[in-house]
Structures are given as C-alpha cells and as structure tokens.
Amino acid sequence: LGVEVVTVAECAATEPAEPFEPAADLDEQPAVVIYTSGSTGRPKASLIPHRAVTTRLRALQRSHGLGPSDRMLHHTACSFDMFLIEVYWPLITGTTVVIAAPGRQRDADYLAETIRSAEISVFYCVVSLLELFLLARGPEERFDGLRRVLTGGEPLAPELVRRFHAQSTAPLTNLYGPSECTIYCTAWVPPRDPDLDTVYIGPAIEDTTLWILDEDGKPVPDGEPGELYIGGAGLALGYLNRPELTAERFVPDHLGDGTGPLYRSGDLVRTHPVGGLEFLGRVDLQVKIRGYRIELGEIESAALRVPGVRQAAAVAHGRGSDARLVGFLVLEADAVPEAVTAAVRRALRDALPSYMVPASFATLAAMPLTANGKLDRALLTERAGEVLPATTAAVEARPPAGDDLAAVVTGVWCEVLGVPAIGPDDDFFDIGGDSFKVVRAVRKLEALLGVEVPMDLAFDEPTVTGFTAALAEHRVEGSAR
C-alpha cells in the first residue's frame, strides 16, 4: 500500500520529534460526529466538541466511580454515542476495557459467557438488549458478579426493572439524553421495589440546565407535561453542514443567563417529586381525538405499569369524528392475553381521562421496527384498521319485539358501532364507542321508543344490561310524572 509500518516496540523506543501539546482552544473543537435518523429520512450528524465529552465523563465518574479493579465490556458500535462510555470512561480511570468479538453484540449467550469469563463488573446496554439478554438467559440465571449496570436509549418498563433486580444484586441506572446533549443529561436509579409502577429518567446531572416549556416557550407548572429544553456544557455544537436545522433545534436561552443555546429535544416530560422527570413520549406523537389533545406516550407509559406488559404502543386511526385510539401490547411469555389486556384497560381508566383509553387492544409477539430499529408506528397505524371493528358495516338494528327493551338497545348499538353482535355485559366504549356514537345511539333510541333518552345514561351504564335497566327506570319515572 506504500505506507510505513511501525511496530509497537519501535514506537515505544522512538522519541517523538516534537512533544505533544494539545490545542489551546481544544474544548470547542469537534471530537465526535454522531449520525442519527431524521424525521425526513435524511440522517443528521451531531457535532460533539471535546468540552461536551469531558464534561459527561467527569459527571459519570463522580456519580458512578470506576476504578482500576473494574472491568468494562465494550460492545456498542461507534455510531452510537454510548461507545464513549465504554471506551473513554475506562481509559481515563485506569479501568480495563474488554472488547466483544465483532458481530456478537446481540448474542445473549456470548455476552453472558463474556461477562462471567472476563469478570466484567460494569456493563452498559440499551433497553432492548437488556430485555433480550434477560429473556434469552432465563429467570433462574443470576449475574451477581456485576457491580453496576447502565441502560438507556429507550423507555424502560417497570417489569424489566423488576426482572433485572430479581437476577442481579447490581444497581441499574436509567440514563436519558439525545445525542445532541452528548451521552446523557439525566439519570435515575430505580429502587428495588416489587411494586414499582413507573421508571423515571431522573433529575439533571451536573453542568446541565433543563427547562420544561409549553408551545409558547413558557415554563409549565410542576407536574404538567411540556417539551424538554436542554442546556449546559454537554451540548453539541450543532449539526454538521446543516445550519438551518441547527438554528431550528438549538435556540437562544431566553430563560437562563443567556450564555449558551438550549436544545429543543422534542421529548415530552413532566416533573415528579421522586424521580425528577417522567418521560411521556415525543411531542410529535401528539394526536387530537374529538377535540382533545392526546399524548400517545402518556398512554404507553400507563400501560407499561401493568404487570405482564413488556412493551406498549398506542396509535390513532381514522380522521375527524371517526378517529379512534388503538393499543398494541407485547406481553410476558407466561401472561394470559385476555387477563392482561383487561388489566391494562382497567389501569388506563383509573389513570387517564376516558377519551385517552384506546377503543381496542391487540397483542403482538413483537413490535414492528423500522430499518434503524425504532418502533414502526406507520405499520401499527395500518394494522389498527384490522383491530378496530368496522364502523361502516351495514348492520340493521333489531326491530322492537314487544317490551324487549334490551333487544332494541342491542340492535341500535350494533348499528351505531358497526358490529354484528354485542354481549349483555360488553362495554360500549370498549368496542369502538365514543361520545359521537353515544349521540347517534341516543337519537335512534328516541326515534324508536318515542321517549327522551338522557345522554348520561350511556356514560354511567355503558353495558346493554346496565343501560337497559337505567333506561327502563327512566321511562317509569317519566310515565309517573
């Protein structure tokens, strides 16, 4: 190749011609370029300076303390900023770096054997790999040789935390942060609590400023959702050769001291007195159903708190008054789908307004992913049409049969919901009903029965049995008057 080859021995024996001196302004010079997917399909590259990398490594060391006796596994590709943790953090603390064999990064058996044979004490992996790792190795296998495990990159489910704690004595740190803020900007260590129902992303780490702002750029009240803006020493310089995008996402700090920009993360969060911040999803995942603004991430977060749920996703299907929510669940191997789905529905009703409870749920063996490994929401939205009952089916209402009020109610509900049959204890809202369809059902019943039907009966008694009894009582009271 026409290049000079120098051996390690020759290099060690040769004095450099000139002593090495770092550049005076090295802090603001680019150190790393990390590409991430863009919403338009065009990847964008975060330009990370030396200042940001050193700031984050100092923060990690002060909070998690690596030492010469530790051994850290390096298995993350250098296209992902977490490789900085696995390489440079050990190298500045005298820790041994054990390099995984190429192509074996997602091989759970290989990783487990390497952790044991190489006596790994500190291990980082993204949430999906932690999930795969624990599933592949089985619940009886323990990993008590690990001193500390760090995870992040995706929302962390309470069930996964509980399973990890059941198999290792090591604390688990949940790291959060887009590549634009270098590795991470918040951290939280979930307690070893068997009743853990929410995994938070934690408070800001050192040299970091966080603001939660509304659509007008104003701080939201404590506990209210808003977009997370990130500032401080860990921020990237912007996007490589993308000045317009840089100006759009790295905005002037109009709330702090104004010395540096704030990065608009696009992530929806809210404060919590225990866990610092709670991640709710993406701002661009906000949908509007019947005039209500709904954060899909909030639905998914609530579903993940239900035992037996490994993954959860919510999508909106349809437009206008026909728009409805559909939930998708990936369950634990030993979970009973009908029981867990019913538990999820109950949990969402208790935690969320009725308009945020999906009309239908479906269980999947695995969530569909895009080419870059992210949840394929477009495909889920397509599948949602198959999960929902058809609302345009031509199903005739059953005609009145004497005083069989239940038959009349059942027939009208079948017609309005577009389903061939409804059980006496089926919930109107569980099988596709909403406030618009309540209006249509009430008006049809009034036309058939010749009496006024209070709208609130359907909300108070959403089953055929309960609604019929309430309607019969209302007719009696009306007759008495």
> What's 343's domain CATH number?
3.30.300.30
Nearby residues of 97 by Cβ (< 8 Å), 6 or more positions away: 71, 72, 74, 86, 87, 90, 91
* C-alpha dist (Å) from residue 362 to 17, 325, 435: 68, 12, 22
Task: Based on the fold, state whether residues 262 and 311 are members of the same structural domain.
Answer: no
> What's 461's domain CATH number?
1.10.1200.10
For the chain, the straight-line distance linking the first and the last C-alpha, in angstroms and rounded, comes to 102
The whole-number pLDDT of residue 435 equals 65
Task: Based on the fold, state whether residues 116 and 204 are members of the same structural domain.
Answer: yes
Task: Based on the fold, state whether residues 220 and 368 are members of the same structural domain.
Answer: no
What is the tally of structural domains in the chain? 3
Task: Based on the fold, state whether residues 204 and 254 are members of the same structural domain.
Answer: yes
Q: Could you tell me the pTM of the whole model? A: 0.65
User: Looking at 204-336, which runs of residues are DSSP E strands?
Assistant: 208-213, 226-232, 250-252, 261-272, 276-282, 286-289, 292-295, 309-317, 324-331
Number of H helices, E strands in the chain: 14, 18
Residue 222 lies inside a defined structural domain of this protein = yes
Helix (H) or strand (E) holding 360: strand 360-364
Do residues 314 and 295 lie in contact, with contact meaning Cβ atoms separated by under 8 Å?
Answer: no
Of 73, 142, 72, which Cα lies nearest the Cα of 110?
A: 73
Task: Based on the fold, state whether residues 151 and 66 are members of the same structural domain.
Answer: yes
Domain carrying residue 371: 307-387
DSSP state of 322: G
The whole-number pLDDT of residue 393 equals 34
Residue 398 lies inside a defined structural domain of this protein = no
> What's 53's domain CATH number?
3.40.50.12780
Classify the C-alpha dihedral 315-286-189-61 as positive or negative. positive
Residue 127 lies inside a defined structural domain of this protein = yes
Amino acid at 325: L
Q: Give per-residue pLDDT as tens, 25-84.
A: 889 999 999 987 554 446 789 999 999 999 999 999 999 999 999 999 999 888 888 999
Which residue, 234, 265, 281, sits at the end of a domain? Answer: 281
Question: What SS3 class is residue 222?
Answer: coil
Task: Name the stretches of the chain with pLDDT < 70.
Answer: 37-42, 286, 288, 290-293, 319-322, 371-373, 389-403, 435-436, 476-481
Burial (CB count <10 Å: 0-12, 13-18, 19+), residue 172:
buried
**Rounded CA gap, 280 and 272, in Å?**
12
